[in-house]
Structure 1
Amino acid sequence: MTDADADAIDAERWLVIDGRRWRRTDPSLPDDVQEALRSHLGRGRAAVRAGKAADDDRAIAAARRRVDLAKHGLGERGPRWWDEPEADRLARARDAIRELDRLA
């Protein structure tokens, strides 16, 4: 593998902001799955902010759980998506959506 190949692979897997690497969303996830998970992620982040404003530790913990589920579903946390079969990644994403829908 050439350096250019390695750089292209890294660019697909990681986003670098201010020198910090963030794992990218699994590109194999269908658009509707990504959209559903990002919607839950946004709502979870908003709930974290609201919980902090209300100084409500239980609400913050519940909202952070939603954020974590969404990020795992997107492949941004947990096992590295590029190390797993695509079917397993899609199943994890769909499981995350079902759990998030139940919590919403």
Structure 2
Amino acid sequence: MSRSRDVDRTPDGRYLVIDGRRWRAADPELPDDLRASLQSALGRARSAVRTADDAARPGARRRVQLAKEGLGERGDPWWELARAERVSRARQRLAAIVELEESAGR
């Protein structure tokens, strides 16, 4: 069941404000296909965290971290990096996720 929440952005667009808490927004300048791939990977990783046994949970959490870094939600703030660096980081993180998923047999 999904909950409806009020979501606002800070005036600079760098953060989302949800239930009074500030969260870093994803990089708005990532190519659409790359953003979609990272968001899909993030969803799969979050699902894996929920269903994983103790042995698999660290790998699933690592994939969540990589996806969020690729989206610019964690790691160096996206607004402090050149666009080319941000896109490169996103592609590197997606490649690492794919590699982890393949090694886990997904």
Q: TM-score, normalised by structure 1?
A: 0.85
Give, in angstroms, the shift of residue 37 of structure 1: 0.2
2:59 aligned with 1:83: no
Q: Where has structure 1 moved over 4 Å in runs of 4 or more? A: none
| SS in structure 2 of the partner of residue 15 of structure 1 | strand
1:50 aligns to what? 51
Q: Deviations over 1:24-82 (max 9, x none)?
A: 0000100000000001000000000101xxxx222111100000000000000001100
2:65 aligns to what? 68
Aligned length: 92
1:8 aligns to what? 11
| SS in structure 2 of the partner of residue 92 of structure 1 | helix
Q: Which has the larger radius of gyration?
A: 1
Unaligned stretches of 5+ in structure 1?
A: 1-6
CA RMSD of aligned residues (A): 0.9
2:6 aligns to what? none
Share of identical aligned residues, percent?
A: 54
Give, in angstroms, the shift of residue 8 of structure 1: 2.4
| SS in structure 1 of the partner of residue 27 of structure 2 | coil
> Is the CA contact 2:27–2:71 (under 8 Å) kept in the aligned structure 1?
yes
Moved more, 56-65 or 74-83: 56-65
More helix by share: 1
Q: TM-score, normalised by structure 2?
A: 0.83
> Is the CA contact 2:59–2:100 (under 8 Å) kept in the aligned structure 1?
no
The one of the two structures with greater contact order (alpha-carbon pairs below 8 A, sep at least 6) is 1
